[in-house]
Structure 1
Amino acid sequence: MQDVARLAGVHPSTASRSLAESPVRISAATVARVRAAARDLGYRPNASAAALRTGSSRLIGVLVHRLTDLALSTMYAGVDAAATAAGYSAVVANGLDDPAVRHERVDALLARGIDGVILADARLDDTVAERLERLGVPYVLAMRTLPGHASVSTNDVEGGRLAARHLLELGHRTAAVAAGDALTSTGRDRTAGFRQAFADAGLPIPDRYVASTGFGVAAGHRAGELICRQGPAPSAVFAVDDLTAVGVIGALRDAGRTVGTDVALVGYNDVELAAELPVPLTSVRSDRDQMGRLAMQLLLDRIAGRPVPSTLLPPLLVPRASTLGASVPGASPPA
């Protein structure tokens, strides 16, 4: 720092303040001269030393079950953009939907001195949120919810209802659900909303038509296989996640059925892939980028000691050929 100050012709304290994220009471010309000197000398601020001095690492941790999940990667992009704008860096860790791994990854994040956590890997059978609360680490949930914990998510019950109403309006009388993971709010709430709408129409969905095999392509294929073994075959399937829906498509194909022709399929999240499939997928859209940005803002509020409310974003059904082209033998729209 003394070398930088000497080259820029300023006092070391002025050089230090000029290299801060938001220089205060220093002219733009001086800031530019100091930063140019730092570049010429190859100077980099020591983040660990700064954290010790300020009590803040300017790092936030983001725990997801798998960043390869397209919906989560978009949500994380929103977190990262909002973090950068606020002068923070985001560090992501995969919990793999495994309680032991999840706690190990939280330990690794805490060891880096993070200022807070965005938890997108929450389950009803896990205690990570309670542990963070007990330790006094600021956190918020994103995408998934837990009772009593601040979160930013889509109104997934309403999203399930939107999917069901769409199919009912098209005349479908029998439907099945690839229900994801029943211990997550996304699997539980989307399924509950869908089943409730069918029940309200006088068409309750039997439990045997609900396959809770997890999220993702492989899990969706297993769910599709279980559904195909039931009789009579449903005319429509709701998958609570778009990648799960892709696996369902494969299982239906193997069973001799064609999505968009003799069976309708609705997904959830409306990832970019959905519109580009050979038969474009009808999906319930959730604004994951906005979700990530709002989660970061809520986390900043918690870091500052302010109370934060949970936020529910509105879902939107995007109809495409996977439902609009499917025939419904002998069906008539419900009254």
Structure 2
Amino acid sequence: MARQSAVTLKELAQALELSPSTVSRVLNDPSGIDSRWASPETNQKIYDLATELGYVKNQYAASLRTAKSLLIGVVVPRLQDYVLATMYEGIDEAALEHGYAAVVANSLDQPATHDLRVRKFLDRRIDGLILGDTPFDGATLKSLDKEKVPFVLVNRRSPGHLSVTCNDQMGGRLVGEHFAEFGSKKIFLLAGDHRMSTSIDRTTGFIEALAEQGIHLPVSHIAYGGFDTSSGEKATRDLLDAHGIPEAIFAVNDFAAIGALGVLRERGLKVPEDVKVVGYNDTPLASGVGLTSVHSPMHEIGRRGFDLLLKNIQGEECESVQLDTNLVIRSTSR
């Protein structure tokens, strides 16, 4: 007769003539090689019988014993954004490897929505948070600090808080040095959202690199807005109408850069002959249209974000992580 219910830990222990605590410790060892609880031969017998009988760990019961839910909450501005979606894939992948589940929610970069999403996660007893929607001033983090909730920032940073980002200031510098090599003087900067570290750091590095080469970027040639295609289109139209044709355009996001390319095309301007264009993040779409872009290790940022959060949850000493970038040169700036 077919078995009607899943085998229990106690039944496994009885069949092997071992204590339930020994079987539990062996099966809960994530490496599968710890010999502190039993010999390698006994370990193998436990794994073999558990597989044969179809033993499945009861995560709910485990969470009650350990006071952990094995859930983490992830808040991003928009999951439809390729950059954040790729980072979430890295988070989810790393979480699964450690027995956790990652649940994601959108904040639309609205503080009130962010607070609501975070509160919903906390009500569900999540073990920690990964936040990809934090402004540079960290205003949305005050309640988490007060409640001592473990959390890590990804993609964006805020001083005094754990984060995993790429070196955005260096990324901006790489673009400034690239334009300086061509002797470009009249340059437009599509700077994104001025509240976010991604905008602040990329812009700062870019302007500093130009200044070191004796190139001045007027404030009037900098347009702030969003990180999407429509924002890039609007910023490019406004700058062209106000200041004429530049020699080069740097957008701090690939999608804004693609918006700029569309406007240049509709104005009859050739890229790179008339105007050179560079974006940021090196998304697959950038490769598809030949856009020069600063490479951001998006998937790795997500994985490292979970790793850092897990250390935080476990009470280990933690430091922020900053990953390297490089400039991928393609046809829009050759």
Which TM class, normalised by the smaller chain length? 0.7 to 0.9
More off after superposition, 79-88 vs 89-98: 79-88
1:110 to 114, 118, 122: 122
Distance 2:291 2:320 in 1: 30
- Cα distance change of structure 1 residues 232 and 220 upon mapping to structure 2, 3 Å threshold: closer
What residue number does 2:319 align with?
309
| 1:329 aligned residue | none
- In structure 2, stretches of 5+ residues that fail to align are none
Q: TM-score by structure 2 length? A: 0.87
Q: Distance in 2 between matches of 1:48 and 1:177?
A: 51
Partner of 1:332: none
Alignment of 1:288-327 (within 5 A): 288-324=298-334
AA aligned to 2:309 is L
| 1:69 maps onto 2:69 in alignment | no
Map 1:218-257 to 2 at 5 A.
Answer: 218-257=230-269
Q: Which letter maps to 2:45?
A: A
**Which residue identity is paired with 1:225?**
R
Amino acid at match of 2:46: T
Report how far residue 7 of structure 1 moved: 7.2
Aligned residues of 1:116 and 1:139 also touching (Cα < 8 A): yes
- Would the aligned equivalents of 1:228 and 1:252 in 2 still touch at CA under 8 Å? no
Q: How far apart, CA to CA, are the structure 2 residues paired with 1:45 and 1:70? A: 34
**Kept after mapping to 2: 8 A contact 1:15/1:34:** no
Q: Which residue of 2 aligns with 1:31?
A: 47
Counterparts of 1:1-335 in structure 2 under 5 Å? 4-5=7-8, 10=15, 13=20, 17=24, 20=28, 22=30, 25=38, 27-38=43-54, 46-124=58-136, 127-277=139-289, 280-324=290-334
Q: 1:274 to 1:235 in 2, by over 3 A?
A: same
The CA deviation at 1:51 is 1.8
Root-mean-square deviation (CA, aligned residues, Å) is: 2.5
**Given the superposition, is the C-alpha separation of residues 272 and 3 from structure 1 closer, same or farther in structure 2, using an over 3 Å criterion?**
closer
Question: 1: CA distance between counterparts of 2:130 and 2:45?
Answer: 38
The separation in 1 between residues aligned to 2:184 and 2:6, in whole angstroms, is 75
- How far apart in 1 are the matches of 2:210 and 2:315? 44
Q: CA deviation at 1:193?
A: 1.3
| Counterparts of 1:38 and 1:21, CA distance in 2 | 18
Name structure 1 gaps, 5 residues minimum.
325-335
Q: Which moved more, 1:192-201 or 1:151-160?
A: 192-201
* 1:54-78 C-alpha deviation (Å, 9 max, x unpaired): 1111111221111221122222222
Aligned-residue offset at 1:169 = 0.1
Moved more, 208-217 or 8-17: 8-17
Q: Using the TM superposition, give the Cα deviation of residue 45 of structure 1 relative to its aligned residue in structure 2, in angstroms.
A: 5.2
- Structure 2 contact 136–157 (Cα < 8 Å) conserved: no
Contact 2:165 2:323 in 1 (8 A): yes
Cα gap change, 1:312/1:14 in structure 2, threshold over 3 Å: closer, same or farther?
closer
Q: Normalising by structure 1, report the TM-score.
A: 0.87
Give secondary structure in 1 for the equivalent of 2:79.
coil
Deviation digits for residues 29-57 of structure 1, max 9, x if unmatched? 33333344346xxxx65544432221111
Cα drift, residue 180 of structure 1: 0.7
Given that 2:227 and 2:255 are in contact with CA atoms closer than 8 Å, whether structure 1 keeps it comes out as yes
How far apart, CA to CA, are the structure 2 residues paired with 1:126 and 1:219? 24
Question: How many Å separate the matches in 1 of 2:72 and 2:44?
Answer: 29
Answer with 30-39 or 301-310: which moved more: 30-39
Identity of aligned residues (%): 39
